[in-house]
Structure formats: structure tokens, C-alpha cells
Structure 1
Amino acid sequence: MELTERGFNADREAITLIAGTDDPRATIEAVTERADDDALRITSDQVRSTIESDPSISTGSNRSTNTSTESVSPPETMGSAKTDRSPVSDASDDVSTDASTDEGNVAVDDTTESDPSTSDSRSDTDSTGSTTTASNTAASTTASNASRSETATSDADRSDTAHLRDLEIANDMTGHSTGTGEYADFVRTFRDRYERLSKILRGRVNHRPASAIAEMPGGSDAAMIGLVNDVRSTRSGHWLVELEDTTGTFPALIMKDKGIADVVDEILLDECIAVDGTLADDAGILFADAVHFPDVPRTFQPSYADRHVQAALISDVHVGSQEFMRGAWESFADWLHTEEAEPVEYLLLAGDMVEGVGVYPDQDEELDIVDIYEQYERFSEHLKAVPDDIEIVMIPGNHDAVRLAEPQPAFDEDLRELMSAHDSRIVSNPAAVTIEGVSVLMYHGVSLDEVIAELPAEKASYDDPHKAMYHLLKKRHVAPQFGGHTRVAPEERDHLVIEDVPEVFHTGHVHKLGWGKYHNVLAVNSGCWQEQTDFQKSVNIDPDCGFAPILDLDTLDMTVRKFA
């Protein structure tokens, strides 16, 4: 929008008044010239005053304020009946395909301006193997920008529901870090991990501590809960899993011909599991009959919002990169101002707002903005294009200017000040965000690299990032393995434990789009807003760009919109 490019935000009524004049661009120029130097937001009173005092500005009585030239298609109705949504003018044919499966209902909708000469097709597969297709059309950024500056976008009216909003943040450790980096801090972290995850497992096995099992006679039935200290194969092809609790360690043997052998390759070091079975005759080893993960109960029933309201789930904007997709972002922001996007009252951004500096080798050669503070200033400018009546929650990622060790506290005061124009909620990574009764676990997702590297390709891959997320839910921990790719900060409390089951698990980081349901929990990895970089080419990353999953909080159905 023209206002955003000039560094201003505006309330809904102000934009409506500007759109109602015969020459919106001239009106914007007149309004911004009269604005105070330190003003960030244009109000309706300022617009009225300008119109009344400037005779060159006239309004047409028959002028429509809903004149967006973006091609927007209404999503297919999924699940229960929804409030009627009217598409903006000049809408293209509906290309969304409803993927209604046992794992959840998802539609994919293309909202870019179409160029038939560059159209191709794309398919995504959810966790059940059902395929959802979308027409993937290229948009001209230059034409889109010209369209935005010449045509005013009609703003969605969310004012009537503002009093109904309910947003709570849990597990925000910003300002509460206790770690000093000493050995004792790590002991406290793992002790807390064990205590909290073992509580989940105690109802499933009649467990004994390691010290007590060591005193039991051979042939006894026994069960132990512990952190995985070691996993190794024997000469005979069996697997030896060493568990550790607060009293000591004890080995469990998983025989290769047992039905549970197929879960051995899912076990990660340092995660908490339970093993039950029978002690050997000499009582020196436990022959495992079953392996239990903390897991999400199969009986888990999600909660829903009691009204029709939506949240946009995005991540990995990467402002400052030469490959940042400004045109796609502006198309997304413009769509949020339309009548069709009126139910979207929340925006959840799962990290990597900027490209950062020095994150990977030779990154400086791919930067459009080389100063980290200027990157955040530019990101803040782009954020102003989002309607100011949308609630925004952001967590940091590994490209952001915070510590790399997880949990990551939110930004310091200097960076918060740079992003203060929209009054966003900036919290730590991970964070549990409850929106009108629906719990969304936001985690940037660095540990997904670890899971994908350690597990077999059929169980976790970059092409299906949501399947890797299933394993984090199964382990009830967002970064179970210590000492690998994921840096873990020692704290008195392990903030990475998934103590309460969320309705939605939202991640980013891997720049791939994927979604599906695991035991009624919707797992969503939301792709990115950065086209493929040279570094990504070198490591065979083919990103999914310009997607915005739109979640219905009253049904947990989802529409995936594409803006690039």
C-alpha cells in the first residue's frame, strides 16, 4: 500500500475515507504532508481535516471502496457451516481443493494475480497420503506494486469482535533465565526433564527406580522410566538401550525378532521413555517386551473457539536477504485488508523475521541489508502493512539477533523498540499461545534438523516436515537430543518439555510447507517468504515460498493460501 511505503499505518476508517476520494494517491500525499514528523499512524480525523481544508480533493458519491485488484478466491467450506464470506471484486475462479481426510480438512487456495503463461502445478501430501493441489501462478511484482499504489484496498472490519478476543501466553521465559553455564545447571535441566516426563509415563507402567531393579531377583517382571543414556547394537543384531534415572542406570535389551524392534530407530539420546519386560536370570539386564513414549494420548480431544475466528500461521520472513519476497508479502498484507480476510484476527509468526548476519558461510554475499538493526527496521516497515487491528505474536528463530541456545528469550529492548509500531506480542521460543481456548505451541524448529538426520527417511524428511514434528509430539519435547545440531541452554526448568498437549503445533525453520494431524493435534510447518538462496542450493533445499496457512479456530480446519 502507498501509506506503508511512506512509513505510515492507518486505521480502517481512515483508509475507507481515502479510498472514497477521486484520487486516493493525491489524498495520501496531502495527508502525509500534513502529518507530524514523528507520526506513525494516520487517523480518520486527520483524513477528514485534510479533505475539508484542501479544495483539490473531491469525493465521488458512487465510488466503491472495495476495489482491490488482487485475484482472491474464497476457500471451500470445510467442516461445519461458516459465516458467509464475499470475495473482493474481480475475483478469479476458485482453485482450492478440499482435502477432507481423517487427519483434518485442508484447502489450498492461490491468491496471486494470475499469469497463464507461467502457470504450473504443485501438490502437497498430508500425513494420510491424500493429495491437495493448488494452481501455482507467478505474479509480477512490478505490476502488483503499481496496482497497490493506484487502487485502494478495502479494509476488513474487525472492530465488532475486538472485545471477544482472548490471548494468553504461557512458558515465556524472557527475563527469567537462571543458567550460569555451570555443570550443576545442566543437571537441574535434565532432572526437571525426567521428573515432568516421567509423571506422564507413570500411569502406564509399574516402574521401579534403577537402584531397586538392580536388587530384584532374576526372572522378575520389571519396568523402568529413564532418560536414554546410550543405544547400541550387539553382535547378534539386537539393541541395548541404557536408561538413566535419578538413582543410576540400567540396561534393557530389545531383541531383533520382537515386534517392538521397529521403534528402536525412533529412539533419540536424552529423551525420556519407559521400558517394561523381564529380568534375566542373573538380573543384570532387562529383556524388553514394550517401549513406551510419553506421547499424546489417543483419547486427546481438542478445544475449539466458540465463534468463527481465524489465525494466520507464518514463519521465516527473512527481511534483509536478497531473496526476500517483498511482492508476495505485500500481496499477503493487502489480502488481510480485504472483506474476505475479516475473520483473520491473529497472526502468529514462528521466527526468523530477518535474515541476520553471519549465520552461514558467505552469507554477506546474499544480503540486501548488511546491518542487523537496519534489517529489523525494514521488517518493522513491512509489518506496518498488516492491519493494525490484528493481534500479532512473534517468537525468535536462529537467524534472529538473540542467543542460539534454546529456549531463546525474546528480543532485547533496542530491537523491541524498532518493532513497536504494531504493538506485537514478542515472546520466547518456544511459547504456548492460547487463543480463545485453542492452544498453539509455537516453536521455530531447529531440532527438526536433528530429527530428520537421526530418523529413517520414511519416518522423517524435509519433504514432509510435519512427520518430523509428530516425533517431537510423541516424545513430548521440542528438542530431546542434547549435544547435536540443537544448542540447549541449562535452566532450572526445562522449558522445552511439552507438558500440556496443544491443539496446534506450529513450526518453521526448514522452509518447507507441511501439515497433518497426529492424535488430533494439528502439526503445521508454514514454509517461508524467501526464495532459494545460493547456500540453500548448495545443500539441496528447495523452499516452499509465499504460503500462509489460515486456521479456523472454531473447527481447526485450515486453508493454505499462496501469494507468490
Structure 2
Amino acid sequence: MPLEEPVRVVRRLTSRGYNAEREAVTLLADAPDSDAAVDTVVDAAPDDVLTITTTLVHDTLDDPDRTAPGQPDADEADIDEADAGGAAVASASDSAADTASSGGADSIANPESAVPDAVETKGGVADGIEAFERRVDETLHDLAIGNDVTGQSTGTGEYDEFVTVFRDRYERLSKKLRGRVNHRPTNALESMPGGSDAAIVGMVDDIRSTKSGHWIVDLEDTNGTFPALIMKDREWSSVVDELLMDEVIAVEGSLSNDGGILFADSVHFPDVPRTYRPSTADRHVQAALISDVHVGSQEFEAEAWSVFADWLHTEEAEHVEYLLVGGDMVEGVGVYPNQDEELDIVDIYEQYEQFAEYLKEIPGDMEVVMIPGNHDAVRLAEPQPGFDEELRDIMSAHDAHITGNPSTVNVEGVDILMYHGVSIDEMVAELPDDKASYDRPHDAMAQLLKKRHVAPQYGGHMRIAPEEKDYLVIDDVPDVFHTGHVHKLGVGEYHNVRLINSGCWQAQTEFQKSVNIQPDVATAPILDLDTLDVTVRTFR
């Protein structure tokens, strides 16, 4: 029996709120008109029935007093189209394949040559496919959100508010450094005798080279500014290449004879302690991490999304109980010049409505968390509040948890820092290729952890909204750091923190062609929350 019909029956039943026994699915799929047969059986089901049984199907379809099921009318056909998210139901040959796992980050085999072991729903499965029943104990789900600016935003853009947010950044990050160096304020350094050992914790105010090729770094604290000299012949002098304006660092060294400059012996970042050990879940449970769906774009990979959704309904994915979406659910409107020429859906609300339809394809027992990105209908300046009530109502499927960008999501004891990732552009532009590149986005993510801030440099690509505190500071070390934005897959580790940039669901755009960016499309890193191991699934 072709796989499409059992899948269609299963989806139609779940859309009506019913589970089904395996043989019941088989009987319905074998009916001359399976859609009409499903509707007839559902209409005949008693009000207290949640599972369609084989007996109920036999009694209903074999009843000579009942009118034989006819063809569905046009409205019913339209409903089927909407339930499938506007894309055809994937056949067996289009479904996800076995994992080829190596180093925790490998793609799976070509889905076009693979057949899944099972098609699943909460209840029955289709005949001809290995029996599987998804059993998720939703009482075990444990999810909490922190550092969310949604509903807390007070900034109006006044100058004093920018002073407040940068002062808050300095105070919080300097605390992470003061225990490691014998810090003195800038005004105290000015009164110390020449040749004294000294250290300063400050925000990088300026970086400039001398005629001799040395580097002077001006460091600012709440009392003033003081220069530090990094000699070019020091083995560690290349650290200058990693410095960004506005980040907070500590410099240790000795004062010049006249006391007017600090000769640097070492530079320290707030960083993640090397002794850090991540937390893990107490049971085997998984989360799918995705981002940059871009519904509404002509390049949105609708068929690949449906393959992904189908895979989530298989036995291989039975432990995937969380879906974390890292921003850019839709393509947006007016994000860049002439964008309307590349849109498949030109109305922003219709884009979100279509995204909501695709979201309905995933299992109903999954917990969904979403943050916005720079293409979404929220302010561009970070931190970005979560979506407004109108958009939340549109995307109400699965009762998704909608939070701000960035936010820390605790999933069964595992802290996952979710950040869309616009600042990765800044990192790639400012840092050497071996420290940050689009081909290895996890390297840039490691730099952000090292600086303990998701957007350390103000200006350039970054737009920062002043708030009462700096929501972009990484106060607590996360167990997992999840980003998107650059449409490239990256999986790595930094000081025992798992790094995941999850690729995208949009094929190469004209802009990407112009800058020679090859996106990693239809990738879904699957995170084992009990071990923090990652398997990358590809559905294209």
C-alpha cells in the first residue's frame, strides 16, 4: 500500500482530535474514499471516545443503513490542503533516513533514497509499516524562561538611558574579573608611583597602534580612562586581534616610570571558567533546534519542512519532545531593498498565518519555544521583546512559549541560551578568520561566550535598545548556546558549553549568491538533553 494514504488518514484523524488503532487506520486507508470514511467514522463516534477502534470502523462502514461515504466537497479538500501546510504529504521515499553520526555533527543520508521505519501519531499507525505508538508523558515536561525583556522594556532612546545600560554592562562584567586581578580604579592608578604592579578592569574605549607597531588600548571605568600598552614582541600580543570596542576586559602589568601608562603583562576576558561542568537532564529526552524558517520567501523549502514534520512523527523521533526555534519564522516585509520581488507571500500577517499552518504539522505533544529574529515583526534593536498579542494569537498552535531575543530557556535542568545571532555579522567583520567566519559560526559563538556578552560591540550591524539593565550580558554560563541568523550549520564546544548554530530552511537567495554564501538548508540539530550530544538531521 502506498505510504501517502495511511499518512493522510493519520493526519486527518489527529486534526479531528482522535488517536486510532493500527488496523483501524488500515481499514480507513483501504476505503474507496479514505477522507470520507474518516469523516463518517468520526461523526459516528460516541462523544467520550478518543481512540478510533477497529470495531468502530467495522460497525460504521459495514452498516447497511448508513449512506456510503461519498467524495469530499471542495471545502473538505481545502481543509486537507491547509492541514498539510500547503505542501503535499511526503511519501516513503521522501522521508528522513538513518543517522550517519560522526563527531556529533553529521548529516543523514539523502532522504530521497530512504524509507522510514514508522509513521506515527499519538495513536495508531499505518498498516505495512512497523507498528509504533508515540507515548509522551507530558507531566515530565519541565520548562522555564529567564532573562526575557518581553513586557519589561522601558527604554525611550534618551542619552542617559544609554549611559545607564553601558554602566550596568561594566558593573556586571567587571565583577567577573575583579576576583582574578588586583583591580584599581583609573583615578587610583594615576596616584600610584611609577614602576608599581597594577591592574585595571575597564571597557575598551579605543585601540590604536604606535609608530613602532605596539598597541595602546584605552580602558574606561566609571572614574575615567587609562591607557595600557601591549608590546608587539609578547607571545600573547595577538590577543589584540580579538579585542572589540565596548567589551569589558582586565589588564595586569606595571606602571611606567612616570605612572602615565600601564605596560601590559596579561589580558583577561570575563570568559567561561575552564572548570565549568554543564547540567544535564535526568532522563533520555531530546530537543530539535532550528532557526531561520523564512516562511513567505520564494526560497522557503516547504517540502523539506514537511519531511521534517513527518520525521517527527516516526519512532526515530519518539524522544524529541521539545522544539526550539531561534528566530526568523517568516521572511518579513521591507527588511531589505526590493525584498517584495522575492516574496511568495507579501502580507506580513499572512506569512505568520502560513507559518502557523506549518507548525501544526509537528506532533501535538511537543513543547515549542520561539524567539524573534531580525526578519520578524518586532523591533530590530536588541534585546527584542517577544511577539505582540496579535501575532501570538496567530501562532497559537501547540500553545508555544514565545519569549524575547535573547532568553535563557531551562529545559529539564539544561540551561539553553537562545540568541538569534545578528552580532555574528559583527564578529565576522571585526575578528580574524580563524576566530570568526560564516563557515564556522560556532567559532564566533565561542568568542561571545569568552566576552560573556551576545553583542559586545555597539554600532555597525548592531542596534541596541537601552533598558534599565543590559539584557545582552551572559550572567550565568549556559549549558547550551543556540543561535541562527547566518544560515550556516555549526556545532562545537567551548569550555564544555555546547555550541549549536542550526542552519536554515531557505534556499540560497540572490543576495547570498552575490556574496558567495552557500546556506545549510533543512538542517535540524537534535540535542540529547541527558548527554548534550548532537546529531544533525538533514531533510532535503
TM-score, with length taken from structure 2: 0.85
CA contact (8 A) 2:203 2:248 kept: yes
SS of the residue aligned with 2:200? strand
Q: Is the counterpart of residue 377 in structure 1 residue 376 in structure 2?
A: no
Q: Identity across aligned pairs (percent)?
A: 62
Residues 321-358 of structure 1: CA distance to partner in whole angstroms, max 9, x if unpaired? 01100111000000000111101010100000000011
Evaluate the alpha carbon distance shift between residue 442 and residue 215 of structure 1 in structure 2; reply closer, same or farther with a 3 A threshold.
same
From 416, 424, 428, the equivalent of 2:392 is: 416
Residues 269-321 of structure 1: CA distance to partner in whole angstroms, max 9, x if unpaired? 00010011001111111111100000111101111111111100100000000
Moved over 3 A (4+): 1-12, 14-18, 24-36, 42-57, 67-75, 105-108, 148-156
Kindly state the Cα deviation for residue 268 of structure 1 after the two structures are TM-superposed: 0.3
Q: Partners in 1 of 2:417 and 2:109 — Cα distance?
A: 27
CA contact (8 A) 1:318 1:354 kept: yes
SS of the residue aligned with 2:438? coil
CA contact (8 A) 2:95 2:307 kept: no
Matched to 2:455, the amino acid is A
Q: Is the counterpart of residue 158 in structure 1 residue 135 in structure 2?
A: yes
From 382, 390, 409, the equivalent of 1:433 is: 409
From 543, 549, 564, the equivalent of 2:519 is: 543
Q: Is the counterpart of residue 215 in structure 1 residue 191 in structure 2?
A: yes
Residues 337-393 of structure 1: CA distance to partner in whole angstroms, max 9, x if unpaired? 011110101010000000001111211111000000000000000000000101110
Name the Cα RMSD after superposition.
2.8
Evaluate the alpha carbon distance shift between residue 257 and residue 477 of structure 1 in structure 2; reply closer, same or farther with a 3 A threshold.
same
Residues 59-83 of structure 1: CA distance to partner in whole angstroms, max 9, x if unpaired? xxxxxxxx955554444xxxxxxxx
Q: Looking at CA atoms only, which structure, 1 or 2, has the larger radius of gyration?
A: 2
SS of the residue aligned with 2:266? strand
Kindly state the Cα deviation for residue 466 of structure 1 after the two structures are TM-superposed: 0.6
Matched to 1:490, the amino acid is P
Q: Partners in 1 of 2:241 and 2:39 — Cα distance?
A: 61
CA contact (8 A) 1:3 1:9 kept: no
From 316, 340, 354, the equivalent of 1:364 is: 340
For residues 31-110 of structure 1, the aligned pairs below 5 Å read 31=38, 45=50, 53-55=60-62, 56=68, 70-75=94-99, 96-99=100-103, 105-110=104-109
Kindly state the Cα deviation for residue 217 of structure 1 after the two structures are TM-superposed: 1.0
CA contact (8 A) 1:224 1:276 kept: yes
Evaluate the alpha carbon distance shift between residue 339 and residue 46 of structure 1 in structure 2; reply closer, same or farther with a 3 A threshold.
closer
Evaluate the alpha carbon distance shift between residue 211 and residue 362 of structure 1 in structure 2; reply closer, same or farther with a 3 A threshold.
same
Q: Is the counterpart of residue 347 in structure 1 residue 323 in structure 2?
A: yes
> What residue number does 1:552 align with?
528
CA contact (8 A) 2:41 2:61 kept: no
From 207, 223, 228, the equivalent of 2:204 is: 228
Evaluate the alpha carbon distance shift between residue 517 and residue 196 of structure 1 in structure 2; reply closer, same or farther with a 3 A threshold.
same
Evaluate the alpha carbon distance shift between residue 156 and residue 376 of structure 1 in structure 2; reply closer, same or farther with a 3 A threshold.
farther
SS of the residue aligned with 2:409? strand
> What residue number does 2:25 align with?
19
Q: Partners in 2 of 1:43 and 1:2 — Cα distance?
A: 24
> What residue number does 2:475 align with?
499
Q: Partners in 1 of 2:214 and 2:483 — Cα distance?
A: 35
SS of the residue aligned with 1:278? strand
More divergent stretch after superposition (369-378 vs 176-185)? 176-185
> What residue number does 1:287 align with?
263
Matched to 2:394, the amino acid is L
SS of the residue aligned with 1:108? coil
Question: Higher strand proportion, which one?
Answer: 1
Q: Is the counterpart of residue 446 in structure 1 residue 410 in structure 2?
A: no
> What residue number does 1:134 align with?
none
Q: Structure 2: 5+ residue runs without aligned partners?
A: 1-6, 63-67, 70-90, 116-124
Q: Structure 1: 5+ residue runs without aligned partners?
A: 37-41, 58-66, 76-95, 100-104, 116-136, 138-147
CA contact (8 A) 1:393 1:427 kept: yes
